[in-house]
């Protein structure tokens, strides 16, 4: 029986992970489940699966969680330290599916124990890639990518020599506004940005898909996970989201990973690795699909891609600044304080201001990244982003 923990269990990836675990219930012992505001879901899943521990990130909700778990035998806890403690409980396999930079510290704790980390939380590699990879090396833990494109690259690379890889192509659906004229984007609403054409995901990543910030994060994630040079990473618009990534080799071959837009494939691959087992995903009917389309991204409409390249060239703490500014820009958009097209200029302005700071420049190489330095820079970048958002609002 494998001992598993799911960080971010109440979210989209977390629920898909639990769906797979339920289908093979006797094969798993659930060590810990974590969530945030959704106490009813967290408690129901923890009861049903007999979890040892359930943790909410929100300390104010501990009473509700305790009430919901009364008599179940499931331990209840709350807050950041409790999340880290849950992640550090001995387990064979830990799903990292908290959204945002909040997922970094718990993921590192899990890696320190030597557990296999199934990594959906792309922000961990964007904010602190060298630190995360070093933590895995130090304990001998394995990281398995769960982001669909990175799972696709990982699968295409199986048995291949990295020295023969010339390029990696990450596909992008183009998001909710793929077919909108550029001039309409300034009036895009939160509700419109929250509709993904192909994937059913949490609201934040869905809006990031519309702004192409999701793809920007994924470029950095690919660089950190696979050790690629920035120039080897390409983005290709593919509206059907059936090819998730392609890997190019020195003999001209391109290996494409094709599959339905269902995260249970990538999650299940990481759960069963190194084996392949049957998964409850639909078989693709390519004849019925008929046509797979591809086109180059319009970089004028997607400044996030240019910013990602600048962040990769900069290295060090630039990823932490970029991610923090993006997270706050998204908060401000969702709250209606800034428009959709103001997010990228806000992030660019924060990068410019913060990269001029000596603390950011000092960590350029990435070798001396620590969790404290990343957290400190994240905090400053969020403050800077709030200031820039106020300036944007005042300008009107
Ligand atoms: N959804 C998808 O298909 C994919 C997602 N990813 C990545 O996986 C991660 C999760 O995405 P997704 O499942 O869509 O996100 P969701 O918003 O659906 O779920 C996020 C999870 O994190 C919890 N959470 C939110 N804020 C905090 C916090 N500050 N501290 C601790 N826990 C918190 C939520 O709790 P609660 O809901 O109870 O408040 C929930 O359990 C992201 O990094 C995303 O980029 C990558 C590829 C595909
Ligand atoms: C499922 C997954 O991995 C998402 O990151 C997805 O790729 C988002 O779609 P976009 O291609 O629209 O960003
Ligand atoms: Mn993805």
Residue 184 lies inside a defined structural domain of this protein: yes
Do 114 and 161 sit in the same domain of this protein?
no
Q: Six-digit token pair at 380?
A: 């400053």
Rounded CA-CA distance 326/373 in Å is: 18
Which of 115, 145, 175 is the last residue before a domain boundary?
145
Q: Quick one: which atom of ligand 1 is closest to the CA of 203?
A: 17
Q: Six-digit token pair at 343?
A: 């997010």
Tell me which of 241, 245, 281 to substitute to probe ligand 2's pocket, judged by most ligand atoms within 8 Å of the beta carbon: 241
Q: Does the annotation list 252 as a binding residue?
A: no
Tell me which of 170, 201, 242 to substitute to probe ligand 2's pocket, judged by most ligand atoms within 8 Å of the beta carbon: 201
Query: If you count DSSP H runs as helices and E runs as strands, how many of each does the chain have, helices first?
Result: 17, 11
- Which string of b and e fits 34-61 if b means at least 16 CB within 10 Å? bbbebbebbbebbbebebbbbbbbeeeb
Q: What is the pLDDT of residue 368?
A: 83
- Cα 318 to the center of its chain, rounded Å: 17
Which of 88, 112, 145 is the last residue before a domain boundary?
145
Q: Which ligand is nearest to the CA of 78?
A: 1
Q: What is the pLDDT of residue 357?
A: 81
- Cβ-proximal residues to 192 (8 Å cutoff; 6+ apart), any chain: 176, 177
Do 25 and 160 sit in the same domain of this protein?
no
Residue 66 Cα to ligand 2 midpoint, Å, equals 35
Residue 209 lies inside a defined structural domain of this protein: yes
Residue 245 Cα to ligand 1 midpoint, Å, equals 22
- Which residue range is the domain that position 379 belongs to? 315-395
Residue by residue, DSSP assigns 149-193 as: HHHHHHHHHTT--GGGEEEEEEEE---TTTTS-GGGGGG--HHHH
Residue 285 lies inside a defined structural domain of this protein: no
Q: Six-digit token pair at 312?
A: 């990769």
**Global ipTM:** 0.99
Nearest CA to ligand 2 atom 8: 209
Q: What is the pLDDT of residue 367?
A: 63
Do 125 and 41 sit in the same domain of this protein?
yes
Number of domains within the chain = 3
> For the chain, which ranges sit under pLDDT 70?
361-367
Do 42 and 65 sit in the same domain of this protein?
yes
Do 90 and 186 sit in the same domain of this protein?
no
Q: What is the pLDDT of residue 358?
A: 76
DSSP state of 284: P
Do 132 and 159 sit in the same domain of this protein?
no
Give pLDDT tens digits for 176-188.
999 999 999 999 9
Q: What is the side-by-side strand order in the sheet with 254-258?
A: 233-237, 165-172, 243-249, 254-258
Do 140 and 6 sit in the same domain of this protein?
yes
Residue 98 lies inside a defined structural domain of this protein: yes
Do 25 and 141 sit in the same domain of this protein?
yes
What pTM, to 2 d.p., does this model score?
0.98
Do 125 and 214 sit in the same domain of this protein?
no
> Can you say whether the dihedral through the CA atoms of 55, 61, 67, 68 is positive or negative?
negative
CATH number of the structural domain spanning residue 322: 1.10.1740.10
- Cβ-proximal residues to 345 (8 Å cutoff; 6+ apart), any chain: 303, 392
Do 26 and 128 sit in the same domain of this protein?
yes
Q: Which ligand is nearest to the CA of 214?
A: 2
- Cβ-proximal residues to 227 (8 Å cutoff; 6+ apart), any chain: 162
CATH number of the structural domain spanning residue 107: 3.40.50.720
Do 56 and 138 sit in the same domain of this protein?
yes
Residue 178 lies inside a defined structural domain of this protein: yes
Rounded CA-CA distance 31/7 in Å is: 11
Burial class of residue 72 in the structure, from the number of CB atoms within 10 Å of its CB (0-12 exposed, 13-18 middle, 19+ buried): middle
Q: What is the pLDDT of residue 362?
A: 59
Helix, coil or strand: residue 251 = coil
Residue 298 lies inside a defined structural domain of this protein: no
Q: Which ligand is nearest to the CA of 14?
A: 1
Residue 186 lies inside a defined structural domain of this protein: yes
Residue 16 Cα to ligand 2 midpoint, Å, equals 15
Do 32 and 71 sit in the same domain of this protein?
yes
Which of 121, 145, 169 is the last residue before a domain boundary?
145
Residue 310 lies inside a defined structural domain of this protein: no
Q: Does 39 contact ligand 1 (Cβ within 6 A)?
A: no
Helix, coil or strand: residue 36 = coil
Q: Quick one: which atom of ligand 1 is closest to the CA of 9?
A: 41
């Amino acid at each position: 029986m494998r001992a598993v923990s799911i960080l971010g269990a109440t979210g989209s990836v977390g629920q898909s992970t639990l769906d797979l675990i339920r289908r093979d219930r006797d094969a798993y012992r659930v060590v810990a489940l974590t969530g945030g505001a959704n106490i009813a879901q967290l408690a129901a899943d923890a009861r049903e699966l007999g979890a040892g521990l359930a943790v909410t990130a929100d300390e104010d909700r501990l009473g509700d969680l305790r009430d919901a778990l009364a008599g179940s035998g499931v331990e209840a806890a709350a807050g950041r330290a409790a999340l880290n403690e849950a992640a550090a409980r001995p387990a064979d396999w830990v799903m990292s599916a908290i959204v945002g930079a909040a997922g970094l510290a718990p993921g590192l704790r899990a890696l320190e124990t030597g557990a296999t980390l199934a990594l959906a939380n792309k922000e961990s590699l964007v904010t602190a890639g060298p630190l995360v990879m070093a933590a895995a090396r130090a304990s001998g833990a394995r990281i398995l990518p769960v982001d669909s494109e990175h799972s696709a690259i990982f699968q295409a690379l199986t048995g291949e020599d990295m020295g023969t890889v010339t390029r990696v192509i990450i596909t992008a659906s183009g998001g909710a506004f793929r077919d909108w004229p550029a001039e309409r984007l300034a009036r895009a609403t939160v509700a419109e940005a929250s509709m993904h054409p192909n994937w059913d995901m949490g609201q934040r990543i869905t809006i990031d898909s519309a702004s192409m910030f999701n793809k920007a994060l994924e470029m950095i994630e690919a660089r950190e996970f696979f050790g690629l040079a920035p120039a080897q990473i390409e983005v290709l618009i593919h509206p059907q989201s059936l090819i998730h990534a392609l890997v190019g080799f020195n003999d001209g071959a391109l290996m494409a990973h094709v599959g339905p837009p269902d995260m249970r494939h990538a999650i299940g691959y990481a759960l069963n690795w190194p084996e392949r087992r049957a998964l409850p995903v639909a078989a693709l009917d390519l004849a019925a699909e008929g046509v797979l389309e591809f086109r180059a991204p319009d970089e004028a409409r997607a400044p996030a891609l240019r910013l990602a390249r600048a962040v990769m060239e900069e290295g060090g703490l630039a990823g932490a600044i970029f991610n923090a500014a993006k997270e706050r820009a998204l908060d401000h958009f969702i709250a209606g304080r800034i428009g959709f097209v103001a997010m990228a200029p806000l992030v660019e302005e924060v990068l410019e201001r913060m990269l001029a700071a000596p603390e950011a420049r000092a960590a350029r190489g990435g070798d001396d990244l620590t969790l404290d330095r990343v957290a400190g820079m994240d905090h400053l970048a969020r403050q800077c982003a709030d200031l820039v958002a106020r300036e944007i609002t005042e300008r009107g």
